[in-house]
Every structure is written in C-alpha cells, then in structure tokens.
Homo-oligomer: A and B are copies of this chain.
C-alpha cells in the first residue's frame, strides 16, 4: 500500500517581538499565522474499522495540533525571556497570555518549537513529514524531516 501525506491547516493569532532586530519587527506586533502540519503513513486496511482507508483521521490530527500547539500560541504574546523584564512584568500583572521562550521567536524558531511539541504525541503509524508556517500571506517558513535526517 502506497504511503500518503496528510495535511491539516490551522490559523492562530499571536504577537511577537524580535529583540535586537534592526527593523520594525523589534516592536511588539502580531500576525494571523497559518500553520500546516503534514504527516506521512499508510492508509489503514481493515474493512470494518471506523478509520478504514485513513492514514490518520483529519479530526484526530486537528485535536492533536489544537492541544499541543494552538493552545500555547493562540492569542499569546511570544517573547524572548529576559528580553524586556519591565514589559513582561506589567503584562503578567494584567493577566495577558505570554509565551516566554529561551529562543528568539522568529518563524524559523517557532517551527522548531512546534516540531518538538508534536513529535511525542503523534500516533506510531505516522511520521511527521513537515510543518509550514506563514507569518504573512507572502512569507513563510518550513521544517521538513527530509532536510534533517
């Protein structure tokens, strides 16, 4: 049975700032991020099984990404920890949702973090093929397993 790639697309609204950046992205700003998560596997061949013919139920992929990725990022402000202590303190005091990271929150680093969040939770019969993250409609990054064997 041939292998098939399955992809589910998501949107989340997040803010970030790039510490030490030499341009407008130094300021706190936000994006309507689009995220595509692609898994690879063989469709199940069990005639009476509810998931017959599926690599993974699109609904299960959605739940997995919602729990392990979207709930962390959606409507959050992602900041390099220690980059702006006064700002972070005020926002925390006001109850804003923050994701403080040991890495600069570029599109590239967010992809690597998302990969780490998802890998331990994928079912055994699929592998993580790739991730695609749009910062804007015209700019996106991708992590591919095949680039990192």
Q: Which residues of A contact B (CB under 8 A)?
A: 2-10, 18-23, 38, 40, 43, 47-55, 57-59, 103-109, 111-112, 115, 135, 137-144, 147-148
Contacts and interface: CB of A to CB of B under 8 A. Distances in A.
B5 A141 contact: yes
A38 B141 CA distance: 9
A7 B112 contact: no
Contacts of A7: 139-142
B106 A54 contact: yes
A117 to B, nearest CB: 14
A8 B107 CA distance: 13
A135 B55 CA distance: 14
Nearest to A105: B53
A100 B137 CA distance: 32
A76 B61 CA distance: 28
A112 B2 contact: yes
